Copies of this chain bind each other. A is one copy, B any other.
Amino acid sequence: MMEKDDFTPQDFLPFLLNRAAEECSLEFQGEYKNRYGMLRTEWRVLFHLGIYGSLTAKEIGVRAKIHKTKISRAVAKLAERRFVTRNRDENDRRAEHLALTPAGEMAYRDLRSVAREYDDKLTSRFSEDEAVLLRRLLKKLSGIET
């Protein structure tokens, strides 16, 4: 009973992904937490609105793979702080179009530059090609090609 055994569990992808994601998220958290007292889900929502302009909670969930209750609560907090506005869709009154307020825009641009610096710091460990490839592969893993 010959068993091919080239599998090294310490290289198990979900395992490596979790570890890297955890490491980076925690480190990056230090950069923004004391700026706006924002939680991980909140800046992710903020980023999405900053990038794409206006989205519904549902759309954010699909793009970012975040659970809808997490988004619901994050949006509630962001709206409370006047970082986002909610606008009912007139064609489908279940959906709400979310967008950044000017204050939200400012916070986004600020965090965006912090993110850029941190991203540069991370990718400085790689060659340009490696960085490009890494991003492409990560997108492939989450089933998103764009």
- Chain A residues in the interface with B (C-beta under 8 A): 7, 9-25, 28, 40, 44, 47, 50-51, 64-66, 112, 115-116, 118-119, 122-123, 125-126, 130, 133-135, 137-144
Contacting pair A44 B15 (CB below 8 A): yes
Question: Among the interface residues A17, A47, A112, A133, which one has the most CB atoms of the partner chain B within 10 A?
Answer: A17
- The A contact surface, by secondary structure, is helix
Contacting pair B119 A7 (CB below 8 A): yes
Contacting pair B19 A24 (CB below 8 A): no
Report the separation of the CA atoms of residues A51 and B119 in the bound assembly, to the nearest whole angstrom. Answer: 32
Question: Among the interface residues A21, A112, A123, A134, which one has the most CB atoms of the partner chain B within 10 A?
Answer: A21
Known contacts: A16-B142, A17-B21, A44-B15. The answer to whether A9 contacts B135 by CB under 8 A is no
Q: What would be 17 A-B contacts, judged by CB atoms less than 8 Å apart?
A: A9-B47, A9-B51, A13-B134, A14-B21, A14-B25, A14-B115, A14-B118, A15-B44, A16-B138, A18-B40, A19-B64, A19-B138, A20-B141, A21-B21, A22-B66, A23-B143, A130-B137
Q: How far is the CB of A125 from chain B (nearest CB, A)?
A: 6
Residues in B with CB closer than 8 Å to A11 are 119, 135
Nearest B-chain residue to A3, judged by Cβ? B113
Report the separation of the CA atoms of residues A114 and B10 in the bound assembly, to the nearest whole angstrom. Answer: 14
Report the separation of the CA atoms of residues A141 and B13 in the bound assembly, to the nearest whole angstrom. Answer: 13
Nearest B-chain residue to A50, judged by Cβ? B9
